[in-house]
Chain A
Amino acid sequence: MSDTIVSLPDQSTARIPKMNFLTRENGLLSWLLTGDHKRIAILYLISISFFFFIGGALAGLIRLELLTPQSDLMATDTYNKVFSMHGIIMIFFFLVPSVPATLGNFFIPMMLGAKDLALPKINLLSWYLYIAGGLLALYTMMSGGVDTGWTFTTPLSTHYVNTHVLTTGLAVFVAGFSSIFTGLNFIVTIHKMRAPGMTWFRMPLFVWAHYAASILMVLGTPVLAIAIVLIALERTVGIGVFDPAKGGDPLLFQHLFWFYSHPAVYIMILPGMGVISEVISTFSRKRVFGYTAVAFSSVAIAVFGFFVWAHHMFIMGISNYAVLVFSLLTMLVAVPSAIKIFNWAFTLYKGSITFETPMLYAFGFMGLFTIGGMTGVFLGASGTDIHLTETYFIVAHFHFVMVGGMLMAFLAGLHFWWPKMTGRMYPEKISQLAAVVTFIGFNLTFFPQFILGTLGMPRRYASYPPEFQILNVFSTAGATILGVGYLLPVLYLTWSLKYGAIAGDNPWQATGLEWQTQSPPLTENFVELPIMDHEAYDYEWLERHNRDRQKEEEVASAG
């Protein structure tokens, strides 16, 4: 235990428990009709990975096209379709459901000491809606795609393009309801399903982060839904509230769209922040510094997040006073985000840090998210925004937050809880390598884009002036490395399902309730209703708990 906290059971005698949620029932139907939050989480994990690789392949095509200044790999309108589908698939079918629908679905009930989410059938329904939306998006892609960008800007999307806006809109609409149901389920579960003794301030910060994200899902997503309905009506009926030629207001669409889509980036990042809190605490063996501040900063991000949407509209002719107010409010969001980063840093301070894979990803998150967040302040300041918006600077900023932040957090969480989900460890050395490869590939891909953006390279064009080529070549090379970094986990995690070392109940010696039960867990999660009698992240409690259990076992074997 000197340099690592992994406590694996003796491999010669270790066994995966015969009865667990995976072996409880067999057959395809037992999965497709399940109400078990853990099985639904696995279904989600498989489906979002599928969409991630489709979105990733599209990203690869974009980078390949941008290798040379001319538009030579594909026609320019094909390029428009490729980046539009990349955005739509990655945002609505990967980032929004990624951590909440997989790790959140799996672990929120377990962390609260509940048997399931409050509404298991609604949970299953949300997966089916996700699949229906996803199939529609795939159908759109097969039948010719859409070229409005993921923002569906009016009147482009309602008036000028002849691509599949309707089916894409329907896909996003349906997937949106899947997200609403997930958020609703989480809020109800967190309010009503906590085990005895599990007070609000004993909940793991992962749960707090999901609570905040769920508020955003429940309040924001319906507004996106109505905006899409209005676009569909405008396209089909031919008159609408967004068409300036008919007296409508195209800015109204921007307001409605960004009222969801700005909070949506917090829907994407907050659950990731929850993962980082768990990982940082576990691998530095310390309670998260300033637990209450971190918990409230999640809620603060959710609240502030609703009042910053117009910073996407600084160049669209909104009033100067609105620009002033939204600029200020945007900078305010940086405060709770910074509180989190500082508190994680103080958690590390004098902690007993070990560098398992989840921790490497968490470090990656902290660095990259900080850069992503800080550049967000540049974009929130209206003066610099006017220069930088619609350039590669914004692309780089967004990808630093979403890929460098959220995806790193997702991978951190996936590795961290993989032993609990499957009962087996992932191979440590190669996964550490993958984490490092991802970090290097990521920086090589997206850092040059900051420079490209400040030099003035606009986003969403298939060709660019030749003097930008060198930086674009770096970026494309980085994307290749990044691709390898993402393929590796698929390979070794699949391998570990059969050949990984058996993990035991609590390989990381973490304190969450989810670690105090068998791996993989029972369908009911716990043998008996757990009672929470200590604070979150109480490592001394864990030691006492382990000692007591050891004593009990000794007494039992002696008897």
Chain B
Amino acid sequence: MQDSPAIVQDAVEAETHEHPPYQRHHFETIGQQDDATNFAMWLFLLTEVMFFGGLFTAYLILRNWYYPAFVAGSHQLNIGWGSANTAVLISSSFTMAMGVWCAETRRKSGLVLCLVLTFLLGLVFLGIKTIEYSEKIEKHHVPGFHYSLQSFLDPASDPVAAQYGDKPLALDMARKTELYFFLYFAMTGMHALHMIIGIAILGYMIFRARAGAYTTGHVTFVENFGLYWHFVDIVWIFLFALLYLISRHS
């Protein structure tokens, strides 16, 4: 109801001006086009929230049922790498936000620099994730593939578990750590998939930005990608708290 008069005014303006080349033919004004694509991006992020929501629900229920197994599983994660990754992602969100600012203020070299930094930080995140995953593979903590209960049945034999002073779990509960690691791999894997998609788009954007595509006043693509990148970042912050920080408060 609110925006209709604005559209009228925009339409009047549009008749007197030439269309910029990036305006699609079916929009009356460039303002309408930017509004629509921004809104579409927010809606898409909403579907992503619902998508991850299913996993978070599963986590919530199983953690309530098998809390000791989840704590013991969580102790096997490397909190140093996890914190480093959180710092890396937050920095990359900062460089991305700076990139959007550069695009808006038409600083081409600044934009390219910010995008390259974001790209690199994204790769660093995936690199650290690979190190963490390979630790899990070495200790046979990958569910479904020769999963080993050693660290949970006999924590004294496992330096990490011993360090936290874990008590041995009953066999029945120890088996549930497999569910914890299943959720760990499913959730961080789904997150990593989003990172890989984001990094691929960043690579494309760096080429386009060097050609000056985003510094002519049309910044919606950079802006919307920024939204996506921040969303992926926020998901990680939830994952970090839920997977790494169980019972670390004591």
Chain A interface (Cβ < 8 Å from any Cβ of B): 114-116, 118-120, 122, 180, 184-185, 187-189, 191-201, 218-223, 225-227, 229-230, 233, 237-241, 246-249, 252, 255-256, 524, 529
Contacts and interface: CB of A to CB of B under 8 A. Distances in A.
Contact of A241 (B48, B53, B183): B183
Given A191-B39, A196-B5, 17 more contacts: A119-B37, A180-B47, A192-B3, A193-B36, A194-B7, A196-B7, A196-B8, A200-B1, A223-B53, A226-B52, A237-B182, A239-B178, A239-B179, A241-B182, A246-B178, A247-B66, A248-B62
A199 B40 contact: no
Contact of A239 (B5, B24, B47, B182): B182
Nearest to B31: A192
Contact of B36 (A192, A218, A230, A524): A192
A227 B43 contact: no
A219 B46 contact: yes
B129 interface: no
Contacts of A198: 4
B175 A246 contact: yes
Given A184-B44, A241-B183, A114 B26 contact: yes
B32 interface: yes
Contacts of B75: none
A246 B47 contact: no
Contact of A237 (B37, B54, B143): B143
Contact of B57 (A184, A256, A524): A256
B40 A188 contact: yes
A447 B178 CA distance: 50
B204 interface: no
Nearest to A197: B4
A115 B58 contact: no
Given A191-B39, A223-B53, A230 B26 contact: no
A193 B32 contact: yes
Nearest to A189: B36
A529 B26 CA distance: 11
B47 A221 contact: yes
A256 B54 contact: yes
Contacts of B200: none
A240 B183 CA distance: 9
Contact of A184 (B26, B47, B145): B47
B22 interface: no
B58 A241 contact: yes
Contacts of A223: 50-51, 53-54
Contacts of B5: 196
Contacts of A247: 62, 65-66, 175-176, 179
27 contacts: A184-B44, A185-B40, A187-B43, A189-B36, A192-B36, A196-B7, A197-B4, A198-B4, A199-B4, A200-B1, A201-B1, A218-B46, A219-B50, A222-B51, A226-B53, A227-B54, A230-B54, A230-B55, A230-B58, A233-B182, A239-B147, A240-B182, A241-B62, A246-B175, A247-B179, A248-B62, A249-B65
B28 A529 contact: yes
Contacts of B40: 118-119, 122, 184-185, 188
A286 B199 CA distance: 56
Interface of B: 1, 3-5, 7-8, 11, 24-26, 28, 32, 35-37, 39-40, 43-44, 46-48, 50-55, 57-58, 61-62, 65-66, 143-145, 147, 175-176, 178-179, 182-183, 186, 190
Nearest to B32: A192
Contact of B43 (A218, A233, A241): A218
A237 B48 CA distance: 24
B4 A237 contact: no
Contact of A233 (B3, B24, B51, B186): B186
Contact of A188 (B26, B43, B145, B147): B43
Contact of A255 (B32, B35, B57): B57
Contacts of A225: 51
B187 to A, nearest CB: 11
SS class of chain A's interface: helix, strand, loop or mixed? helix
Nearest to A240: B182
Given A188-B36, A192-B35, A192-B36, A115 B25 contact: yes
Nearest to A226: B54
A252 B57 contact: yes
Contacts of B190: 229
Contacts of A226: 51-55
A192 B32 CA distance: 7
Q: Which 7 A-B pairs have the closest CB atoms?
A: A226-B54, A116-B26, A222-B51, A237-B144, A222-B50, A115-B26, A192-B36
A182 to B, nearest CB: 12
B32 to A, nearest CB: 6
Contacts of A233: 182, 186
Contacts of B175: 246-247
B248 to A, nearest CB: 24
Contacts of B46: 218-219
B172 to A, nearest CB: 8
B25 A184 contact: no
A378 to B, nearest CB: 30
A245 to B, nearest CB: 10
Nearest to A237: B144
A112 to B, nearest CB: 11
A192 B144 contact: no
A37 to B, nearest CB: 9
Contacts of A120: 24, 26
Nearest to B9: A196
Nearest to A233: B186
A263 B51 CA distance: 16
